[in-house]
Amino acid sequence: MGLDLYAKIEPYLDFEEEVYILHKEFLRFVMTNDLNNIIDIGCGQGYFLENLRINKKKYFGIDLSAEQIKVCEAKGLNAQAIPLSDVKEKFDCATAIFDVLNYIPKNDLKQFIKETNLVLNQGAYFIFDVNSYFGFEEIAQGCIAIDIEDKFIAIDANFEDEKLQTDITLFEKQENGMFSKEQDSIIQEYHSKDFLTKLLKECGFEIVEIKEFNLHTDEHADKLIFICKKIA
């Protein structure tokens, strides 16, 4: 689903500030509640795992992109390219940061939440963020072109029927001076607050809090942060 190509271009997308703000919010909750033994689902290149390591927390990261996990391994982080269903350990907290649940189709989301429940101890927390409708419609869609020395990146994102399709094209200069071309697409889906609330309760979670979060504007929330607790 384009995740490996996305891993190649992610360092050039200038998301550092947004990622920093989200990670700060998640880490604040972890530290305030003295949580340890944390699984980060969809850990990407391991930025949040690094924060956990610095704060001497026990952690484990998983991601479906082998390219992302290669970056984690180069940093010496405890992470694997495996699906959630293959995780056998139990944890006291699960995090899914920066739109992870938006990458999961509606029809598969209940199974994902059930699998998250299975890797958590009783009373453990599940914390994640999702894009709001405003975040998709007003912030996420549009076109970007990035021209650097040995790469040209074109991104075209269109939000329609509650789905954001992001088409990625990467031209990359090779040793022989010629350029290679890679193309792929990523689809993210909007999940409403009511839809997620219903699924979480069906899968044994109590919702502790839902925070509206503004990353780009003071007028409208572009993200929702769900803080949930396993009760069944």
CATH number for the domain harbouring residue 74: 3.40.50.150
Please indicate, yes or no, whether residues 175 and 195 belong to a single structural domain of this protein: no
Please indicate, yes or no, whether residues 86 and 182 belong to a single structural domain of this protein: no
Provide the token pair at 228.
């949930």
Task: Please give the helix or strand (H or E) that residue 75 lies within, else none.
Answer: none
Please indicate, yes or no, whether residues 25 and 94 belong to a single structural domain of this protein: yes
Please indicate, yes or no, whether residues 121 and 25 belong to a single structural domain of this protein: yes
Number of domains in the chain: 2
Please indicate, yes or no, whether residues 46 and 16 belong to a single structural domain of this protein: yes
What pTM, to 2 d.p., does this model score? Answer: 0.93
Residue-range definition of the domain harbouring residue 76? 2-133+191-230
Please indicate, yes or no, whether residues 113 and 170 belong to a single structural domain of this protein: no
Please indicate, yes or no, whether residues 85 and 169 belong to a single structural domain of this protein: no
Please indicate, yes or no, whether residues 218 and 185 belong to a single structural domain of this protein: no
Q: Tens-digit pLDDT profile for the chain (232 aa)?
A: 688 899 899 889 988 888 889 999 999 999 999 999 999 999 999 999 999 999 999 999 999 999 999 999 999 999 999 999 999 999 999 999 999 999 999 999 999 999 999 999 999 999 999 999 999 999 999 999 999 989 999 999 999 999 999 999 999 999 998 999 999 999 999 999 999 999 999 999 999 999 998 877 667 889 999 999 999 9
